[in-house]
Structure 1
């Protein structure tokens, strides 16, 4: 006697979408509401981020009449002029501070990156001298900071007060960047290093010819971290620099924008005329121009390094 298969009710024979496609629930086709909400949310985020920057740029390019008519920050661009930038870059406190910040960022980034690479490579090699004690000291800095007064006493004892070295040496190495780079170095196959040593390569040759070419992503990301840190730093300048002529750009930005002090004019300050037949820019436009000059370098460099972030930071943090 043969039995006929019993047909299940339609509502019981249905399978879930993930059972039909074999994909997890989070990889299912998005709904209409999901497809619509993503660009809306992304647009709102972009607007919130871009609108203040837009207002700052427009205000820095506005004339005295446009700023007076708007009663402050300008939203609708009218009578645009580059007078504020011409006055700032014609010499004086802002031009000098811009050159100082550029030099400190370039020298400090190179110095910090060199020390970080050497230390990370040494700590990533098993069996290196004092490997574990040094790594423990580095990890200990995550929990305990030196404090302002001890740091000042150390800088003062080294004779670095009122010198550019005080802006570089106290923050030359970041424990976070060192750990990230060490983890990335540990992910490099040991067979490559062993084969180079068999061919007679020393440690420095292994580092420069094998490890660094394979670690361009993490080196680029760590270099960007150091460069942005040096460019945006002002606290060390406020602590260790007594001469206003040695101020970096961020210290000028803090003094004349955050604290609302008046920019000096004439010799050593901001020129009162543009020299190009342009009317003098209002003080608000000059202050906004300083803000633009301070953030433009980071905005220009970041897109070229962004592609390395996932490979350089996430992989370096997970491995090891």
Structure 2
């Protein structure tokens, strides 16, 4: 009887100790997760509240979680420029068209490379991988774009750089590991061609990788300003990022030319416009993440880790 009681007591103590260890582990995991969320979210929140705050309050460190005094001067000065709205429209069009073209190019290429019956698959894969490490440089690229007559045109930001070897490898790995070969064999028995198999069976099952590659491409195009600076001189075709850069540089130049109270006012206005420009340029593309989140994690994990 005593032995049974002792065994029961030991099991109970072990169970209590195990529960305590589980709680400690859960507390540690949740604590680390909360700290990481704060480290990511707070800088974004600080940029937003700083865009509505006085630059003096921001520089003095009196703005932490809420604006000490709400000010809209930065947004008013920034958005009253007509070039901002034109740049917004251009960027939206570049992003939508460029993402669509990139998906039309990279997804079929990744699917073709995933097929074991593709002749010369190894050589074609090498052809895609080598440019990932060795590039021709800016001058040869510029001359190529110029010879194709794409300078100062809408298509210069969506066609020359639509092919991405990295995205093709991601798509190839996803198709290879996520689409069962039995589906292709069953489709062949039903007389399905390769093109029909791709459009009717593979694409509906590939929402995850489509979301990942589409989001990566859209973010890259939306944030791009260097390509526009090199290849576009027509102000009517310039994207938002390049226009914001020009406005901020112009404000810095005016600040350096001014003196006294005017210089101080221009300095404060320039700082507020910087924060407002960050919010204006990043908020629209960030709104895409919640809609694609359910596909994003699955696509990026399957497409980039498994092989």
| Structure 2 CA distance for partners of 1:31 and 1:101, relative to 1, 3 Å | same
Aligned to 2:214: 223
The whole-number CA distance in structure 1 between the counterparts of 2:279 and 2:198 is 39
Aligned to 1:268: none
Classify the secondary structure of the residue corresponding to 2:127. Answer: helix
For residues 209-238 of structure 1, what are the alpha-carbon distances to aligned partners after superposition, in whole Å with 9 as ceiling and x for unaligned? Answer: 100111111111111111111111112112
Aligned to 1:115: 105
| Structure 2 CA distance for partners of 1:290 and 1:312, relative to 1, 3 Å | same
Among residues 157, 176, 184, which one is paired with 2:147 in the alignment? 157
Among residues 259, 281, 300, which one is paired with 1:313 in the alignment? 300
The whole-number CA distance in structure 2 between the counterparts of 1:74 and 1:282 is 18
| Structure 2 CA distance for partners of 1:196 and 1:284, relative to 1, 3 Å | same
Classify the secondary structure of the residue corresponding to 2:288. Answer: helix
The runs of 5 or more residues in structure 2 that have no matched partner are 1-9, 255-267
The whole-number CA distance in structure 2 between the counterparts of 1:104 and 1:114 is 15
Classify the secondary structure of the residue corresponding to 2:135. Answer: coil
The runs of 5 or more residues in structure 1 that have no matched partner are 1-13, 15-19, 22-27, 266-280
How far off its partner does 1:90 sit? 4.7
Does the aligned pair in 2 maintain the 1:56–1:73 contact within 8 Å? no
Aligned to 1:262: 251
Classify the secondary structure of the residue corresponding to 2:160. Answer: helix
Does the aligned pair in 2 maintain the 1:59–1:284 contact within 8 Å? no
The whole-number CA distance in structure 2 between the counterparts of 1:110 and 1:287 is 31
Among residues 114, 121, 131, which one is paired with 1:124 in the alignment? 114
Aligned to 1:135: 125
For residues 253-278 of structure 1, what are the alpha-carbon distances to aligned partners after superposition, in whole Å with 9 as ceiling and x for unaligned? Answer: 33444xx432899xxxxxxxxxxxxx
Does the aligned pair in 2 maintain the 1:155–1:166 contact within 8 Å? yes
How far off its partner does 1:304 sit? 2.2
Classify the secondary structure of the residue corresponding to 1:170. Answer: coil
Aligned to 2:176: 186
The whole-number CA distance in structure 2 between the counterparts of 1:223 and 1:122 is 19
Does the aligned pair in 1 maintain the 2:167–2:213 contact within 8 Å? yes
Stretch of structure 1 that moved more, 178-187 or 188-197: 188-197
Residue 248 in 1 paired to residue 239 in 2? yes
Does the aligned pair in 2 maintain the 1:186–1:319 contact within 8 Å? no
User: What RMSD over aligned residues (CA atoms) do the two structures have, in Å?
Assistant: 3.3
Aligned to 1:239: 230
| Structure 2 CA distance for partners of 1:192 and 1:48, relative to 1, 3 Å | closer
Aligned to 2:40: 49
Aligned to 2:286: 299
